[in-house]
Structure 1
Amino acid sequence: MIKVKLFDHEHEKDLEKDMNHFLEKIEEKKLLDIKYNVAAVQEDEDEQIYCFSAMVIYRA
């Protein structure tokens, strides 16, 4: 069975930490792919919000 695990954080270090924690739990040969995305939104003149997200595709 193929599954996905989604991650979404405002800070890239938080995303990295959560993904590494998850990847430690699955066998390397079961990892199929990782998709990564960054989005930025201008909240107002002084603030920009970032969204760092990733999807891990793996065999269960």
Structure 2
Amino acid sequence: MIQVKLFDYEHEKDLEDEMNSFLEDIRDNQIIDIKYNVSASVEEEDEQIYCFSAMIVYKKSKP
């Protein structure tokens, strides 16, 4: 069965840490694809807000 795992963080280091933690439990041959995206917006008083997101597409292992 194909599954996805979504990640969304304001800091790239948080995204990296969470993805690495998830990938520790996934075998290399289970990974189908990884998508990455960065977006930025400007809030009040010219404060920039970043969003670092990723999606891992993988095959769920059989029990």
TM-score range, shorter chain: over 0.9
Structure 2, unaligned stretches of length 5 or more?
Answer: none
Give 1:8's aligned residue. 8
User: How much does 1:59 deviate?
Assistant: 0.1
**Aligned to 1:32, what secondary structure does the other structure show?**
strand
2:57 aligned with 1:57, yes or no?
yes
Give 2:19's aligned residue. 19
Measured in 1, the distance between the counterparts of 2:14 and 2:35 equals 16
Structure 1, unaligned stretches of length 5 or more?
Answer: none
User: How much does 1:19 deviate?
Assistant: 0.1
**Runs of 4 or more above 4 Å deviation:** none
Q: Which amino acid aligns with 1:58?
A: Y
TM-score normalised by the chain length of structure 1 = 0.96
Measured in 2, the distance between the counterparts of 1:41 and 1:18 equals 23
Q: Which amino acid aligns with 1:5?
A: K
Number of residue pairs aligned between Structure 1 and Structure 2: 60
Q: Which amino acid aligns with 2:59?
A: R
Measured in 1, the distance between the counterparts of 2:39 and 2:47 equals 14
TM-score normalised by the chain length of structure 2 = 0.91
Over the aligned positions, Cα root-mean-square deviation in angstroms equals 0.7
